[in-house]
Amino acid sequence: MKQPIRYFSIGLIVASLALFVVYKFIDKPQENVDSVEIETLISTINDHGYHVMEESEYIRLSVLQDSMDDEDEDNNKKDDDKKKDTDKEKEDKDTDKKEEKDKDKDKEDENKDKDDDKEKDDKEESTVKYSIKIDPDMLPTDVSNLLEEKNIIKDASKFNTFLEDNDYSQLIQIGTFDVSSDMSQEEVAKVITRSN
């Protein structure tokens, strides 16, 4: 038991000696700033890329910087005002253009309405009306062919297919029915089948 205690004591002594050597010889304490001359401090600061100035120089520089900032702010404000004026002028021009376009559009709409009315009149004049008489022995294809002949429908085969697909072909009634060329296939089919 004595031997481990001796080794432990020797370890403490060696560690104490090592710390003493490091503190005394290797780790040199920093010099106090107050003990160094001002010229030495200034040259050291300049060597590191910094600049030393007196308080009066600093105040003058601050005032100059503030006046430059105010001048920049005034210039920015003037630029903003110019931009606003330019934007307003552009907006006014755009408004004028839009009003012109609206006027042109109104004229076009007016002309279109006139053209539509004229077209309607032409269409009414070109609308073919016919009273079809369906006999008991007529087939749906016969009815379709007769309607195409009288220019009520454009294509008899398409109309016949429409009748078949929508189950109108079995419902065609016997009688006389008034139809016109401005009617759709479904409207014609409903008239001749009397399914409303």
pLDDT tier for residue 9 given thresholds of 50, 70 and 90? very high
For residue 12, is pLDDT > 70?
A: yes
**Domain limits, the chain:** 53-126, 128-193
For residue 122, is pLDDT > 60?
A: no
The model carries a pTM of 0.37
Per-residue model confidence (pLDDT) at position 118: 55
* Cα 136 to the center of its chain, rounded Å: 65
The dihedrals phi and psi of 195, each to the nearest 5 degrees, come to -110, 105
Per-residue model confidence (pLDDT) at position 120: 55
114 vs 49, higher pLDDT = 49
CATH of 128-193, one of 3.40.190.10, 3.40.710.10, 3.40.1440.60, 3.30.1490.480: 3.30.1490.480
Mean pLDDT confidence for 6-22: 92
For residue 97, is pLDDT > 60?
A: yes
Per-residue model confidence (pLDDT) at position 45: 83
